[in-house]
Structure 1
Amino acid sequence: MQTKHPAHDNAGLPPLRILSLCSGIGGDVAALDHAGIPHEVAAVAEIDPIASAVLSRKFPTVPNLGDLTLANWSNHHETIDILIAGIPCQPYSVAGRQRGVEDRRDVTSDIVRIVADVRPRYVLFENVAQYETLHGGKAFNELRSGLVGSGYTVDHLVIDAAQVLPQRRKRLFILGRRGDAVGSPSEILADAACGGRGAEACGTARLPSADAASGSASVLHPPRLGTLMASGAGMNRPGMRGHELDFLVVQEFAGLGLVVRRPTPLEALRAQGFPDDWFDGVSVAGKALTDLQKYKLVGNSWPVPVTAAILAGIYRNLFAGRLAQAA
């Protein structure tokens, strides 16, 4: 898939070639679109069948290589501008058992191997903040030392998406550049943490329900949702406890008074910064996605505007001179 942005087309800039691993529902590609960055997705790698159905619908011409531990990466050697991966967070999240590298779902060693094989110009990884510290930072240190050993300058930063989205979501971003590729990872991440000069807050990132009764309505609680979870916790099950109360929306409608409800799947999409139509036309075994499936997919994805700000920083550094000439 290739997406172009008019301002960049006028500058005659080439699209970035992207390799997406542990792709989920394509939040990294949504971020490229959000930032207006021309790009071509060489391949995605996702094993979850429901997430794969979303990818197939959104990017029908992009091959899904499936299990990244089994794929052949030789065809992509030194052809990729940015390798992006949402490394599975289940081994590190406080919502799980936190077994770290002992968890069979951990792919840290595989990511290090793939980066060494592919040798992209940049790498960008996302995970829960505990990835850096759990078990003495074993996985994080393995990833960082592996990248440095392959010639990358690496930095990392925990960024809270609440600065640009109606959701509290602290995530660790790890950015690396290879050899003489331009752009300081620390400066790019710091800029993204401040909202990014080249990426705006998503215009659809608002909490009020799009399918609510006609007329204006004010959300009284919460000012921001809690962190959306891959389990769908707080969004679609009868009982609510503790932090799940952050997902009870108290909203006042003219003529109706106060309404207490849970967020809709559309609001969950918006709380991550996705376009409203991201799930349109997606089906699994001939059936439309259920609300619970949507909540889980969104909770397992990237905060789109934050990722867009990081990718915009990479793009500005790659083409700084030519972008200045086109301005």
Structure 2
Amino acid sequence: MGNLEVVEICAGAGGQALGLEKAGFEHALAVELDTNACNTLRENRPSWKVVQGDVANTETWDPAAYEGVALLAGGVPCPPFTIAGKQLGATDERDLFAWAVELVQVVKPRALLLENVRGLSLPRFAGYRQHVLDRLAAFGYQASWQLLQASDFGVPQLRPRFVLVAMREADEAAHFHWPTPVERVTTVGEALGELMASGGWEGAEAWAAGADRIAPTIVGGSKKHGGADLGPTRAKRAWAELGVDALGVADAPPSAGDKPDLRPKLTTEMVARIQGWSDEFPWTFTGRKTTRYRQIGNAFPPPVAAAVGDAIMGAFNLEGPRADQRDVEYDPIYKALRESGEFIPAERLGKLAGVTDAPELERRISLLSRDFDIDIEESGRGVAYRLGTFKAFTGQAEHARHAQFEKLRSRIS
């Protein structure tokens, strides 16, 4: 098929990049904010064009220069949607998901791939997700979402990722199928046994036999917090059950002089193996230990990216049976308000959306209002609602996102 190029935004340290390369894509451009991640990308792929800066700043790169590229991909910031955070969504200055979707009308790629945390799949963001589908449909793309578990693709870790794939050509969209999970899950002991024994530790074999499950999600953290750490209290308990001391990251594997019943800490090399880097997916991380750990922990696992990349390649090649591609309506309240464009009395809105309980309708309207302006009209006949403006940053020159970004830039990662 010739060279199939990808433009990757918010590229991080290369997890998605390496996976897409394995699938057969060549990088025309990788854009990333973090200095350490850019250094890692350049160290591993000197021939790639890596640009550092705010991806939404037109001075950083020119999207129009890459019109017609095969794939536009990215792992845009997760904090706006993460379950552990405030779930500010469209009002979070770090939210670039909606902006990335709008890039499609400029770049016009054959396919779009965006990944984020599981939180984006929750009811809280039903309206947001449907808005994304609506915009892609308006640009002539057929899109679908899927929650993928990293452990289903050979990654020894509980790491759910919510993935969006959109295809421009109808025939290719009809041949897109989400990747099939591998037959067998890889355990932590299987993944790390060799590395754990590399320093001569006598307890490595017994440790590996006991680490017979997948790991909790690796937490990359951010510049707001301290050094490398394997996660919150619940995660630390899960690591302890696997025989791992999660209070920090080690400089080296256990040595021959260490006690056989030691509960070892992981090295950054071991964390990378848990995240999916391996002999099959080799990669070098630059910087000090904490910066290496953050690069690894914030990445999209390469094997998962490779599986999705292969699925997109299969669609380009029209492989496999055709399948119906239908946009899913996630939020009937959003749908009713969007299709009307006018004020809808609460009682009628509830009937249209199938929500007969008044308090539940108000709760759902409240959720929707976190990402959209909701106009409210009160009269003697009761309350009526109308869908207003989407609050997210989609490229507006005067959006509040710019001032907030500059104010917090030193802490954004």
> 1:206 aligns to what SS in structure 2?
helix
CA shift, 1:64, in A, is 2.9
Deviation at 1:318, TM superposition (A): 2.1
Residue 269 to residue 141, structure 1, CA distance change in 2 (3 Å): same
Shift of 1:161: 0.9
Alpha-carbon offset, residue 238 of structure 1: 10
For 2:236, which of 236, 239, 244 is the aligned residue?
244
Q: 2:289 aligns with which of 270, 288, 291?
A: 291
Name the structure 1 match of 2:19: 31
Partner of 2:284: 279
Structure 2 counterpart SS, 1:262: coil
Q: TM-score, normalised by structure 1?
A: 0.78
- The percent identity for this pair of structures is 23
Q: 1:75 aligns with which of 43, 65, 76?
A: 65
Structure 1: distance between partners of 2:86 and 2:231: 22
Aligned pairs (5 A) from 1:1-327: 13-35=1-23, 37=24, 39-65=25-51, 66-70=53-57, 71-78=61-68, 80-133=69-122, 135-163=124-152, 164-184=154-174, 188-189=177-178, 192-195=179-182, 206-208=191-193, 210=195, 212=197, 213-214=199-200, 217-218=205-206, 219=208, 220-221=210-211, 223-231=213-221, 236-237=228-229, 241-248=233-240, 249-250=242-243, 256-275=259-278, 277-279=282-284, 282=286, 289-319=287-317
> Cα 1:152–1:292, aligned 2, differ >3 Å: closer, same or farther?
same
Shift of 1:152: 0.8
Separation (CA, whole Å) in 1 of partners of 2:237 and 2:227: 10
2:121·2:147 contact (CA, 8 Å) conserved in 1? no
Q: Could you tell me whether the CA contact under 8 Å between 1:265 and 1:294 is conserved in 2?
A: yes
Q: Deviations over 1:30-77 (max 9, x none)?
A: 113444x2x321111111112111122223232334322123211111
Structure 1 residue 136, shift from structure 2 partner: 3.7
Where 1:245 maps in the other structure, the secondary structure is: helix
Partners of 1:318 and 1:244 lie apart in 2 by 43
CA distance, structure 1, for counterparts of residue 15 and residue 34 of structure 2? 15
Q: CA deviation at 1:226?
A: 0.6
- 1:296, distance to aligned residue in structure 2 (A): 1.4
The CA deviation string for residues 303-325 of structure 1, in whole angstroms up to 9 with x for no partner, is 2212211111221232357xxxx
> What is the DSSP-based 3-state SS (H/G/I as helix, E as strand, rest coil) of the residue aligned with 2:82?
coil
Structure with the larger strand share:
1
Alignment partner of 2:5: what SS? strand
Q: SS of 1:194's equivalent?
A: coil
CA contact (8 A) 1:195 1:309 kept: no
- Secondary structure of 2:29's counterpart equals strand
Q: Which runs of 5+ in 1 are unaligned?
A: 1-12, 283-288, 322-327
Whether the 8 Å CA contact 1:168–1:226 is kept in 2: the answer is: yes
- CA-to-aligned-CA distance 1:166-188 (integer Å, 9 cap, x gap): 10011111111003351437x52
Greater Rg over alpha carbons, structure: 2
Q: Alpha-carbon deviations, 1:167-221, whole Å to 9, x = none? A: 0011111111003351437x521xx14239xxx98xx981326153336624213
Give the stretch that moved more between structures: 302-311 or 98-107: 302-311
Q: Secondary structure at the match of 1:261?
A: coil
Task: Say if 2:115 and 2:162, in contact at 8 Å, map to a contact too.
Answer: yes
Deviations 1:224-266 (A, max 9, x none): 1110112189994499722222234428999943220222211
Tell me how far apart the structure 2 counterparts of residues 19 and 33 of structure 1 sit (CA, whole Å).
Answer: 12
SS of residue matched to 2:99: helix
The 3 A distance-change label for structure 1 pair 238 and 96 is closer
Q: Which residue of 2 aligns with 1:4?
A: none
Unmatched 5+ stretches in structure 2 = 245-253, 320-413
Does the 8 Å contact 1:234/1:247 carry over to 2?
Answer: no
Q: Distance between the aligned counterparts of 2:17 and 2:233, measured in 1?
A: 34
* Moved beyond 6 Å, runs of 4+: 232-235, 251-255
**Structure 2 letter corresponding to 1:207:** L
Cα shift at 1:158? 0.4
- SS in structure 2 of the partner of residue 92 of structure 1: coil
Paired residues of 2:142 and 2:173 also in contact (CA < 8 A): no
TM-score, structure 2 normalization: 0.63
Instruction: From the superposition, tell whether residues 239 and 52 of structure 1 become closer, same or farther in structure 2 (CA, over 3 Å).
Output: closer
Amino acid of the residue matched to residue 108 of structure 2?
Answer: R
Aligned length: 292
Letter in 2 for 1:295: Y
Report the Cα distance in structure 1 between the residues aligned to 2:29 and 2:318, rounded to whole angstroms. 27
Q: Is contact 1:18–1:43 with CA below 8 Å preserved after alignment?
A: yes
Q: Which amino acid aligns with 1:67?
A: D
